[in-house]
Amino acid sequence: MTKGGQFKTVTVAALVALVWMADRASAAQCGSTAAGFEAWKNQFAIEARGRGVSASTVGALMATTYATATIVADRGQRSFSLSLDQFLVKRGGSAIVARGRALKQSNAALFASIQQRFGVPPGPLLAIWGMETGFGRSRGNQNVLSAVATLAYDCRRTAYFTEQLYAALTPIDRGTLSASTRGSMHGEIGHTQFLPKNILNYGTGGNLDVAAAALASTANFLKGHGWRAGAGYQPGEANFAVIQAWNAAPVYQRAIAVIGQQIDGGARR
């Protein structure tokens, strides 16, 4: 390589490094306390406007408050370290099975329609529904936008929840989600607790606070992650990997499989 070529290469590399450093400097900085949340919002708002988010939606973001309860909940998920039997007792597994069987019978036409459309049987859907919200009884009362914005600012899982925040801003921009929507501590919405990105990717168009729409969207999520109609969903079977996509905690995954199997009429293995 000639000296001129070497100089050009070094110059280009230096420019790339300067651009990278400038991007890092201008990016919204995460934090672990409420102290930096307002400054983070101001910087994030600039980034959001640059990505085409409307001024009114950015205004809704700026009105959010630091969700201390969300951070406490995020740090306190100790039940995921329990054994499967302990976890099932803590989450009321036997009650979920009993209620799930009754709902399967009383809503047979709905579950038959969902299975025909998506290939997913009632058991895992009812297990998820019961585990997530007690069949709709506990859907949360946290402002979704504040919760997701707080987690995007928090340094623990910034990248993951930044994606979720942009996913929440999108339907607010479209007018299909209100900035005042209430949900659970991490910003999950509806009967089966969809995070904003899952709403965009797998929501079937209905109101997730309506059970039928939430169940159809949940079945669509499972199908979208590779659910094979007619295949098993216990550990080692084809559809267990799909259940793993629903929740990252191994004990939660196994609980869904066990409860679902019992609702569908099988004995626990």
pLDDT tens for each residue of 77-108: 777 889 999 999 999 999 999 999 999 999 99
* Residues of the chain falling short of pLDDT 50: 2-3, 6-25
Count of CB atoms within 10 A of residue 107's CB?
17
- Residue 225's pLDDT is 98
Q: Residue 265 has what pLDDT? A: 87
Burial class of 83 by CB neighbour count within 10 A (0 to 12, 13 to 18, 19+):
exposed
- pLDDT at residue 1, rounded to an integer: 53
Other C-beta atoms lying within 10 Å of the C-beta of residue 182: 14
Look up residue 109 and give its two tokens: 């036409």
The whole-number pLDDT of residue 23 equals: 45
pTM, entire model: 0.85
Q: In sequence order, what E strands does the chain have?
A: 142-143, 182-183
Name the CATH architecture for the domain at 80-140+192-263.
Answer: Orthogonal Bundle (1.10)
Per-residue model confidence (pLDDT) at position 28: 82
Sorted by where each begins, the domain ranges of the chain are: 80-140+192-263
Contacts of residue 52, Cβ cutoff 8 Å, sequence gap at least 6: none
